């Protein structure tokens, strides 16, 4: 205790001396908090003093100081705004093309802890057995306690081939375990497992299943081709699985919605400091799809997933089955800077067609269906083993959410069939 007090007594006068010296050199005056000139002058003076007096000369280049200031500014706004150095900006552009380097884990901050929302399929994180809800305590031995979300994402990413050790705590068991992963160039196939679901009744309705893992540039085209094939196989209703889908490109989510809606329908609108904007479906290039649709969502369905689910729910085009979604309904605009870096900044919020807000609220299901933690883990395990089991066949067994969606669609098909007028009997011939 004595040593701590002594250290404080030495440290405080040193601060006071620096402050007096700065006042003597520049003079003190009140600055206007809304004046860009006054405040840039404060920032410039701070950078000058750091370059003049900071003990470690390797950390005081103008670029390092500028980038640090930008990181701090964006991080203070909200968890989704961030500054991207040139290499990070390039990595983000690769992400939207379904190819990037990393470990393949979607993360968020939950109660101040870096938490895995879900591991992306066919990635090192997924293959290693990481689970939704796992907390990342350390990355390569360094604590994540004081990292912001953008800093954590930046730390997890890197060049392909590099090994990364994650120290994971699993909340259900409190077990702490190290996982050594190797970064790879991740190629994400966004549309998976398109098939007609097996049925015990050979004469029953043909219900199709398609899963979208995230929304990238090719997603709508991939989905259209998958639906074309299923329709040729006799598809009568569809389960669209958006569980664990973290989102992606807004334009892709709008295009996917457009596969099930007529042209000119508002899918989502945005409002921010700039005038609001509506995103509408474009003219249909393929066949019209009128069959019933059920959309599966859960707590990890975010952003673009919520746009699709919210639009098709509001427009009475789909029945939403599962859990309330994540609630990430804000728009991040990417603004390039002159040196190749960029700002990713929240500029607006999403609204569904009926003007329901998504951000921090989520999209609620029409039919609530839950998975136990064990069922959730088994579902992810089945996806890890070459799709759904070695056969690649999707099954409702052990998946109450999918089973409930199938029940809803079967009931819908029966209702639609009963609403149709009876076929007229052929006229009899006179003798």
Is residue 199 part of the annotated active site? The answer reads no
The token duo for 7 is 């250290």
Question: 55 pLDDT exceeds 80?
Answer: yes
Q: Which of 88, 134, 328, 399 is catalytic?
A: 328
**Domain 100-187: CATH architecture, name and number where available:** Roll (2.30)
**Mean of pLDDT over the chain:** 85
CA distance 120 to 233: 29
pLDDT recorded at residue 21: 45
Average pLDDT over residues 338-344: 94
Tell me the average pLDDT across 210-216: 94
Please enumerate in sequence order all residues whose Cβ is within 8 A of that of 239, keeping only pairs 6 or more positions apart, or say none: 197, 207, 208, 209, 210, 293, 294, 295, 296, 402, 405, 406, 409
The band of 403, judged by pLDDT with boundaries at 50, 70 and 90, is: very high
Q: Which element (helix H / strand E) includes 25? A: helix 2-26
Q: What is the mean pLDDT of residues 239-263?
A: 94
pLDDT at 426: 57
Active-site hit among 88, 154, 255, 314: 314
Boundaries of every domain in the chain: 100-187, 191-418
Across the range 170-199, mean pLDDT stands at 88
Question: Are the C-beta atoms of 205 and 239 separated by less than 8 Å?
Answer: no
CATH class of 191-418: alpha beta
> Is it the case that residue 193 has pLDDT exceeding 70?
yes
Query: For residue 383, what are the CA distances in angstroms to 218, 237, 239?
Result: 22, 23, 17
Structure tokens at 361: 């609220």
Sign of the alpha-carbon dihedral angle for 124, 129, 133, 135: negative
Q: Can 328 be counted among the known catalytic residues?
A: yes
CA distance 19 to 1: 27
Residue with the bigger pLDDT between 285 and 419: it is 419
Per-residue pLDDT at 101: 67
Quickly state the pLDDT bin for 146 (edges 50, 70, 90).
confident
Banded pLDDT at 167 (limits 50, 70, 90)? very high
pLDDT band at residue 23 under the 50/70/90 scheme: very low
Tell me the pLDDT band of 66, cut-offs 50, 70 and 90.
Answer: very high
Give me the pLDDT at residue 385, please. Answer: 58
- The answer, yes or no, to whether residue 160 has pLDDT greater than 50, is yes
Selecting among 81, 190, 301, 303, the annotated active-site residue is: 303
* pLDDT for the residue numbered 18: 41
pLDDT at 380: 83
253 vs 199 pLDDT, higher one: 253
Whether 303 sits among the annotated catalytic residues: the reply is yes
Is the overall model pTM greater than 0.85, yes or no? no
By three-state DSSP, how is residue 260 classified? coil
Residue 9: band (very low, low, confident or very high) from pLDDT cuts 50, 70, 90: very low
List, for residues 95-119, the tens digit of each pLDDT value: 655 555 689 888 888 888 999 988 8
Q: Which has the higher per-residue pLDDT, 390 or 364? A: 364
């Amino acid at each position: 205790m004595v040593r701590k007090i002594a250290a404080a007594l030495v440290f405080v006068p040193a601060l006071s001396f620096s402050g007096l010296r700065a006042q003597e050199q520049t003079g003190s005056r009140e600055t206007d908090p809304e004046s860009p000139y006054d405040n840039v002058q404060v920032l410039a003076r701070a950078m000058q003093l750091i370059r003049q007096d900071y003990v470690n000369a390797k950390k005081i280049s103008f670029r390092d100081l500028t980038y640090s200031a930008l990181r701090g500014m964006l991080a203070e706004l909200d968890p989704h705004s961030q500054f991207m150095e040139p290499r990070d900006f390039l990595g983000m552009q690769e992400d939207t093309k379904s190819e990037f380097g990393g470990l393949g884990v979607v993360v968020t901050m939950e109660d101040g802890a870096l938490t895995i929302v879900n591991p992306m399929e066919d990635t090192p994180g997924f293959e290693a057995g990481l689970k939704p809800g796992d907390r990342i305590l350390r990355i390569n031995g360094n604590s994540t306690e004081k990292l912001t979300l953008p800093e954590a994402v930046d730390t997890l990413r890197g060049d392909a081939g590099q090994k990364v050790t994650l120290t994971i705590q699993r909340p259900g068991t409190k077990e702490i375990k190290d996982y050594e992963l190797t970064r790879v160039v991740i190629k994400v196939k966004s549309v998976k497992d398109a098939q007609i679901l097996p049925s015990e009744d050979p004469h029953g309705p043909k219900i199709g299943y398609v899963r979208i893992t995230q929304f990238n540039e090719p997603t709508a085209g991939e989905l259209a081709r998958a639906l074309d094939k299923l329709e040729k196989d006799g598809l009568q209703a569809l389960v669209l699985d958006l569980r664990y889908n973290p989102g992606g490109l807004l334009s892709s989510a709008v295009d996917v919605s457009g596969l099930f809606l007529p042209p000119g329908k508002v899918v989502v609108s945005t409002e921010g400091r700039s005038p609001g904007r509506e995103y509408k479906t474009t003219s249909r290039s393929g066949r019209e799809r009128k069959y019933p649709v059920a959309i599966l969502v859960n707590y990890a369905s975010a952003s673009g997933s919520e746009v699709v689910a919210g639009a098709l729910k509001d427009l009475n085009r789909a029945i939403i089955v599962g859990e309330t979604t994540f609630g990430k309904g804000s728009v991040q605009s990417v603004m390039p800077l002159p040196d190749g870096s960029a700002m990713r900044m929240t500029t607006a919020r999403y609204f569904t067609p009926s003007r329901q807000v998504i951000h921090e609220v989520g999209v609620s299901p029409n039919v609530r269906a839950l998975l136990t933690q064990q069922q959730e883990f088994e579902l992810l395990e089945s996806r890890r083993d070459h799709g759904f089991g070695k056969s690649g066949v999707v099954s409702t067994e052990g998946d109450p959410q999918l089973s409930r969606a199938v029940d809803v669609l079967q009931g819908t098909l029966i209702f639609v069939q009963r609403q149709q007028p009876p076929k007229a009997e052929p006229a009899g011939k006179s003798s």
